[in-house]
Amino acid sequence: MGSVQARGHSGTLDAQSEGPSFTSIRQTDQIDATSCSSPVAHDVTLEVDESSYISAEIREVLSQDAQEPHLEVDEGCEEASDEEPCSQSVYAMSMYPGAGPAFQVEQSYRNGHDSATIDSARTLYAEDFDFVVENGRQYCGDYFLPIDQTEQTRQYVIHQVYLKLFNLELTTVPLENPTYILDIGTGIGEWAIGMAEKYPQCEVFGTDIAPIQPTHQVPFNVEFHIENAEEEWIRPANAVDLVHLRNMEGAFSDWSFIYSQAFACLKPGGWIEVIDWEDFFAEKNFLSFYPEGSVLYIFVKALLEAAELAGKPRNSRHLNKNLLTEAGFVDIQDSVYDLGIGSRENSSYGKFWFFSVITGIEPTALRLLTKYLGWDPDDVRELCEKVAQEIKAVADDPDRVDAFVVKLRVVVGRKPLDQGQNAASKAPTRDECQEHSGDESTIGKRTIRSERTA
């Protein structure tokens, strides 16, 4: 089967050996984790009984249909056409659909200097850049997803999907002249950069455990700091207008701590916004297309088990509104959106989302299943290939009746203006929300895309 290999780029990282514990990086330096000069740790080796670390059930799955041809890599095929389907692996990066100008609403600052960009020093604070190479992928700290160029490209495509889903808007909360925005787990930094462009008078800070954000010709009012959100946040109290967390499922062991830290730094009336998957691992909706005992069920069961062993569960429990209530937030609302997998479900972004899902199978599973369950990397990749084929079969099924979607939940809450405020005093009712079914904005009209929530 074809798997994507990480592409390295040149870059410099000048760590200070003396003085304060931070790394200073100028925007004219290109930061790339794939070529960072930090020491690379050896792969973690678990002592396991090779006769039992893969169950008989898994062995049967991996051995079945051994004669079936897999999709092979064809370097000469850039993209499949409707008439002649390409036989390239579902993992190949060349199969990514190109993001057209309609999606690239945040890229103008990279085309040259103007009054909104600057090439000055930026400081990324870090005790240590904990880079680890395992099974050909590069990771940072104990986070389960890789941070190499391949994964960064996938994250960029996912960002384009969000832009299209939300009609090119970046947040669902009603901001008025914000002065301080905080993006936790900023990743490649695209969301933070977009907010800095939209609100030029606002200071936008993106935090992450890995220095993979751009530092060249970014808006002057955005800064990226290397911080671990599971430690006490070094932010002033009562100062932030919006704390934003997106796609952080599986990143934290204690979400109550995350919400308490967010509450402390928000100013009275400030917002928190949490966006994450609702049903990738639920037995309804997405998994309902597959029989129990299928390859996908086995895959999900193994992932959940490994995540529990890692101490950072892969589920949507952090989207429970009660956690925000316990932290002190009021006016809590949640909305659920359908992300259609494939152009059949949504012609505008379905193709982008399909490839984001397919190419996310291996990075989602590789570290968890090898490090915490002791699986062999080749077994993991083979299972991921089978899972990809199952997902592709449903997405391409012409006789399918039900929509093939992944549920996305958006939960927002507000820090009360005063301690005695009633949690429901200003929250909009569901009757005030307008149902819709197309691609119109889900932000300005305060609508929900799919189902009502309690």
pLDDT tens digits, residue range 305-322? Answer: 999 999 999 888 999 999
Q: Contact at 8 Å (CB) between 371 and 134?
A: yes
Tell which wins on pLDDT, 140 or 431: 140
pLDDT at 286: 75
CA distance 205 to 196: 9
> Mean pLDDT, to the nearest integer, of 341-350?
90
Could you tell me if residue 190 is inside a domain? yes
DSSP 3-state assignment of 146?
A: coil
Could you tell me if residue 415 is inside a domain? no
pLDDT at 285: 67
Could you tell me if residue 256 is inside a domain? no
CA distance 275 to 52: 38
Could you tell me if residue 103 is inside a domain? yes
**pLDDT greater than 60 at residue 139:** yes
**pLDDT greater than 90 at residue 105:** no
> Mean pLDDT, to the nearest integer, of 406-425?
76
Parent domain of 190: 1-37+98-161+186-228
Q: Sorting pLDDT into bands at 50, 70 and 90, what band is 255? A: very high
Here the tokens at position 340 are 């259609």
**What is the torsional sign of CA 74, 77, 83, 89?**
positive
Number of Cβ within 10 Å of residue 427's Cβ equals 16
422-449 pLDDT, tens digit per residue, is: 433 343 333 433 333 333 332 333 223 3
Could you tell me if residue 391 is inside a domain? no
pLDDT at 436: 31
The pairs formed by 415-421 with CB atoms below 8 angstroms and a separation of 24 or more are 415/263, 415/266, 415/267, 415/268, 415/269, 415/270, 415/271, 415/272, 415/328, 415/329, 415/330, 416/268, 416/269, 416/328, 416/329, 416/330, 417/268, 417/269, 418/268, 421/330
Q: How many domains does the chain have?
A: 1
Question: What Rg do the C-alpha atoms of the chain give, in angstroms?
Answer: 22
Could you tell me if residue 262 is inside a domain? no
**pLDDT greater than 90 at residue 376:** yes
Could you tell me if residue 423 is inside a domain? no
Could you tell me if residue 85 is inside a domain? no
